[in-house]
Amino acid sequence: MTTRVIYPGTFDPITNGHLDIIKRSAMMFDEIIIAVAASPSKKTLFTLEERVQLIEATIKDLTNVTVQGFFGLLVDFAQQQQANLLVRGLRTTVDFEYEFGLTNMYRKLMPNLESVFLTPSEEYAFLSSTIVREVALHGGSVKEFVPLAVHSALAKKL
Ligand code: ADP
């Protein structure tokens, strides 16, 4: 039996912290699907298509990882993909509170959906897409925090 897991998020844009979690998952599970939420309520810097493309460029050497955009409920996407395991990243206690609430809600919506939480290497514990966007918007270099494709895309976009 193959273990197919979903790593969901907004990925606006993907950072080295996300990539750390993806690589750890790729070593633990057979198939990883990165699920990029359309998140219409969030005013994202990158479109859904751009966020998916940036991830595609970043994961091209990871043979058991794929990426897909999705609209609507994550639990519906998980069911479509016949996956009942989610991977989420835990950075600090702030993430813990948020993730705990989210997991309880998912459990109500899809009782057989389980979540596993992975912690990144400590250098990424305080890294977020929001911080990357803010620094880049104000002209700072984020080169060491994001994949190359994202670095170029940010330079073009801003
Ligand atoms: P969301 O909108 O779901 O929070 P994100 O793209 O911000 O989407 O994050 C997706 C997942 O990746 C979440 O589980 C988040 O906690 C995790 N994550 C984000 N940044 C990091 C990081 N630097 N290290 C580890 N996990 C991270």
DSSP one-letter string for 78-123: HHHTT--EEEEE--SHHHHHHHHHHHHHHHHH-TT-EEEEEPPPGG
The first and second tokens of residue 138, run together, are 């104000």
Whether 60 is catalytic: no
Whether 151 is catalytic: no
Whether 18 is catalytic: yes
pTM score: 0.96
Predicted local confidence at residue 2, as pLDDT? 84
Which listed residue (42, 60, 143, 157) is catalytic?
42
Which residue is closest in CA terms to ligand 1's atom 23? Answer: 17
Comparing CA positions, the residue from 17, 9, 122, 152 lying closest to residue 74 is 9
Q: Per-residue pLDDT tens for 75-114? A: 999 999 999 999 999 999 999 999 999 999 999 999 999 9
Q: Which helix (H) or strand (E) holds 34?
A: strand 31-37
- pLDDT band for position 1 (cuts 50, 70, 90): confident
Which residue is closest in CA terms to ligand 1's atom 3? Answer: 9
Which residue is closest in CA terms to ligand 1's atom 17? Answer: 89
Residues 6+ apart with CB under 8 A from 72: none
